[in-house]
Amino acid sequence: MPRSFEELRTSIAGVPLKNPFLLGSAPPTWDDEHIIRAAKLGWAGAVHKTIAVKETQDPSPRMFARKFLEDVVSVQNIELITTYPKEQWAKWNRHIKAEAPSDFVLISSLMGTGDPSSWTEPLQVAQESGVDMVELNMSCPHGSPEHDMGAAIGQHADLVEPLVRHVKRFAKVPVAVKLTPNVTSVVPVAKAALAGGADALTLTNTHGPVMSAVDVESMIPAPDVLGKGAYGGMSGPAVKPNTLRIVSEVAKALPEAEIFGIGGIEGWRDAMEFMALGARATQVVTGAMMHGYELIDDLITGTRQFLLEGGYPTVVDVVGKALPNLVAHSDLSFQDWMRTWVNPAECIPCTRCVTTCSVVGRGAMKIDPVQMVARSDPDDCKGCGLCVGVCPTGAIKMLPEREARERYQAVTAIYPKASYYFPETIDEAIAALRRRGAMLKAGGTDIMVRMKQGLVSPAYIVDLKGVKGLAYIKSKEKGVAIGAATTMKELAESKLLKEKLPALPETAMKMSVPELREVSTLGGNLCNASPAADMAPVLLALGASLKSIGPRGSRSIPLSSFFLGPGRTTLEPGELITEVEVPFPPEGVGFAFVKAGRTYTDIAQVNVAALVGSRGGVVDYCRIALGSVAPTPVRATGAEASLIGRKLDPASARETAKVAVEGIKPISDSRGTAKQRRDTAELLTRRALLQAGGLL
């Protein structure tokens, strides 16, 4: 049996709890076997599925999970109360009490209508079966209100008080009242429950009713029950901010209230937040549904560690600890005291803070193209602090203004020690690259960041910025020639390219932020061999080739055979790219480049380039290339062939896109899951085709 720990003991309404973690009334407590299994893992108690005079029926499916990347952020459910009769629960409760550890607390959830007598029979059944407490469900937001139950009661203080008082007349065990969050203010309802004699409050039930999603292709709301949907209750991490507010409001207004906190608890830290705002114990639902009953191990171990490290003798000492620091907005300090500072040792730089600051603030965040870090100018920083939250590495700090200014002036990125060599000719560069541990630096937007992260440690850096004649854009008879050291800014602003090959400046303008476009080069973008490089799919679709020079002389390399895998190309040791040759597409061919990422300036989650030409309403030219969906950028030749000879319309674009994604091999990482990438690739391929074909 799991151990009990003195420091975790608490109580609600005089009922001792061996720890503050219970399962709430929901699918995890739908029958006796599930509750017994959870009890033996160490949960302090459970509230079983709600019983009433008559059981209910549930549709299938009845749950819909909304996700961000791989994590569920909310669950909409259209499940109602138990589907089993109260008599069955009487048997199950006795079984639970017989099999669960003796200190396991069993709470029976009850529901009735506005008629007080409808609560009496479920209460008697529960008490006779040996439960330790009852919880009055006055809060279900969907289904039940249609029958004068659930939130239909809990939204009205004048109904809550007499019903609670009625139950208390017959109750032999403590009574908790589960309230709905779907009111302007829960405090008057909480007061009414306490006035009626409630021994404890459970704050709160699911939010809603809500509508989490609509499948816009089929126009069916979620969850799809044979072509129909319905409003439901929402749970999970998305409801936690509102539930924390409700718990704190009641705790401040009614300090005598003993509170179960519930809503969005996924781990020990979430639970401690509820307790810091006034809850004496917590109930977990969606967290258990997502992580299993074994979540109790993290709750117990994490909380014990928190108490030890924080100097709290017991978990009860945490209750309400944050409330003195929660004040009215008008009581906050309005002193302009802080600015943000970016720790160069931790900055990637991903540009997410730059994007956010350009919209929310005065554009204080800029990328330093020399040190390859984000920097926040104290003169322009408004002190909103949002950049701190969007930073994925925790590099951005809030500091007193004077300290932020001093650190801004002294900022220096720390890189591994390496020797630098600045050749003046290509031959000198090739010779230098033969040295052991040598690496090439063009714009430095990749190698400098990777050095700081410890991913590469070159002993010798060959910097190309002193080599003349590698940055140019020239028109040729059948295309353009672009020097490998030409920057993305130069590509984006080239009048020649805008006139003769607009695909390239259009793509360059969608890359990162202006500061990085000033230094990042076309050759570097390709030689990094990132599967997510924006220029690669475009040049692949255009049929570009590369000119290189190395110890064995010069050669031409088709871009289609250049990439071998992430960070790997066909370049030999000491060989470097000098030029990119891009042929003109046939006259009248349309182009589109589309990408998706966490922000507009971020590295692509997926990018797609498409070229489409038609004659007589029939497609006679098609090129499709995709990035960030395989180890290398890929041409979708099968999809191209499938569209030739057909009219381009939404239907043919959809079929072509399906063929295009058959050959991709996306991965899951911090920017997206494999499934998301596959779905996004199909969507963006359709979009690119329709744009290139002039239909969008």
Domain boundary among 451, 466, 481: 466
DSSP 500-540: H-THHHHHHTTSS-HHHHTT-BHHHHHHTT-TT-SHHHHHH
Whether residue 351 has pLDDT greater than 70: yes
pLDDT 10s digits, 377-417: 999 999 999 999 999 899 999 999 999 999 988 767 667 77
Whether residue 69 has pLDDT greater than 80: no
pLDDT band at 670 (very low <50, low <70, confident <90, very high): confident
pLDDT 10s digits, 28-53: 999 999 999 999 999 999 999 999 98
For the chain, the residue count is 696
Residues 6+ apart with CB under 8 A from 195: 161
Whether residue 286 has pLDDT greater than 80: yes
* Per-residue exposure over 585-606, b if at least 16 CB sit within 10 Å of its own CB, e if not: beeebbbbbbbbbbeebbbbbb
* CATH code of the domain containing 461: 3.30.43
Whether residue 9 has pLDDT greater than 90: yes
Cα 416 to the center of its chain, rounded Å? 32
The torsion region of residue 466 among left (phi > 0), alpha (psi -120 to 50) and beta comes to alpha
Residues 298 and 437 in one domain: no
Asked if residue 512 is part of any domain, the answer here is no
Mean pLDDT throughout 250-270?
A: 97
Q: Residue 519 and residue 689: Cα distance in Å, rounded?
A: 31
pLDDT 10s digits, 423-467: 889 888 888 888 888 888 888 778 887 787 778 888 888 888 888
Whether residue 185 has pLDDT greater than 90: yes
Beta strands in 384-447 (DSSP E): 396-400, 419-421, 438-441
Asked if residue 506 is part of any domain, the answer here is no
Asked if residue 471 is part of any domain, the answer here is no
Q: What's the pTM value of the predicted model, to 2 decimals? A: 0.84
Q: How far apart are the first and last CA of the chain?
A: 64
Q: What is the chain's mean pLDDT, rounded?
A: 93
Residues 315 and 355 in one domain: no
Mean pLDDT throughout 636-660?
A: 97
Total domains, the chain:
4
Residues 313 and 338 in one domain: no
Going from the C-alpha of 120 to that of each of 4, 46, 73, the distances in angstroms are 36, 22, 38
Asked if residue 33 is part of any domain, the answer here is yes
Domain boundary among 376, 392, 410: 410
**Domain of residue 621, residue span:** 589-696
DSSP 377-394: -TTT-----HHHHH-SSS
* CATH code of the domain containing 679: 3.30.390.50
Asked if residue 477 is part of any domain, the answer here is no
DSSP 118-174: HHHHHHHHHHHTT-SEEEEE----SSGGGGT-THHHHT-HHHHHHHHHHHHHH-SS-
DSSP state of 583: E
Q: Residue 420, SS3?
A: strand
Residues 243 and 157 in one domain: yes
Asked if residue 528 is part of any domain, the answer here is no
Q: 592, 616 in Cβ contact below 8 A?
A: no
**Of 65, 79, 206, which Cα lies nearest the Cα of 139?**
206
Residues 616 and 594 in one domain: yes
Q: Residue 548 and residue 482: Cα distance in Å, rounded?
A: 13
Asked if residue 500 is part of any domain, the answer here is no
Q: Which residue is catalytic, options 140, 347, 350, 391?
A: 140
- Lowest mean per-residue pLDDT among 444-458, 531-545, 555-569, 681-695: 444-458
pLDDT for the residue 413: 65
Residue type for 45, please?
G
**Of 146, 159, 97, 162, which Cα lies nearest the Cα of 126?**
97
Residues 373 and 458 in one domain: no
Q: Is 140 a catalytic residue?
A: yes
pLDDT 10s digits, 487-524: 999 999 999 999 999 999 999 998 888 888 888 999 99
Q: What would the 3-class secondary structure string for 297-366 be?
A: HHHHHHHHHHHHHHCCCCHHHHCCCCHHHCCCHHHCCCCCCEEEEECCCCCCCCCHHHHHHHHHCCCCEE
pLDDT for the residue 212: 93
User: Which residues on neighbouring strands pair with residue 462, listed in sequence order?
Assistant: 421, 440
Mean pLDDT throughout 270-296?
A: 97
Residues 6+ apart with CB under 8 A from 575: 430, 433, 548, 549, 550, 551, 552
Domain boundary among 410, 436, 452: 410
* CATH code of the domain containing 98: 3.20.20.70
Q: Residue 82, SS3?
A: coil
User: Which residues on neighbouring strands pair with residue 421, listed in sequence order?
Assistant: 462
Residues 667 and 598 in one domain: yes
Residues 462 and 344 in one domain: no
* Angle formed at CA 73 by CA 72 and CA 75, multiple of 5 degrees: 80
Residues 396 and 261 in one domain: no
Residues 695 and 651 in one domain: yes
CA 355, 358, 362, 366: dihedral to nearest 10 degrees?
A: 50
Whether residue 468 has pLDDT greater than 90: no
Structure tokens at 96: 């639970």
Mean pLDDT throughout 323-338?
A: 95
Q: Residue 395, SS3?
A: coil
Residues 281 and 245 in one domain: yes
pLDDT for the residue 411: 67
* CATH code of the domain containing 340: 3.30.70.20
**Of 679, 682, 677, 689, which Cα lies nearest the Cα of 604?**
677
Whether residue 658 has pLDDT greater than 90: yes
pLDDT band at 1 (very low <50, low <70, confident <90, very high): low
Residues 190 and 260 in one domain: yes
Mean pLDDT throughout 282-296?
A: 96
Asked if residue 32 is part of any domain, the answer here is yes
Residues 6+ apart with CB under 8 A from 45: 17, 22, 23, 104, 105, 106, 107, 132
Q: 605, 683 in Cβ contact below 8 A?
A: no
Whether residue 607 has pLDDT greater than 90: yes
pLDDT for the residue 78: 92
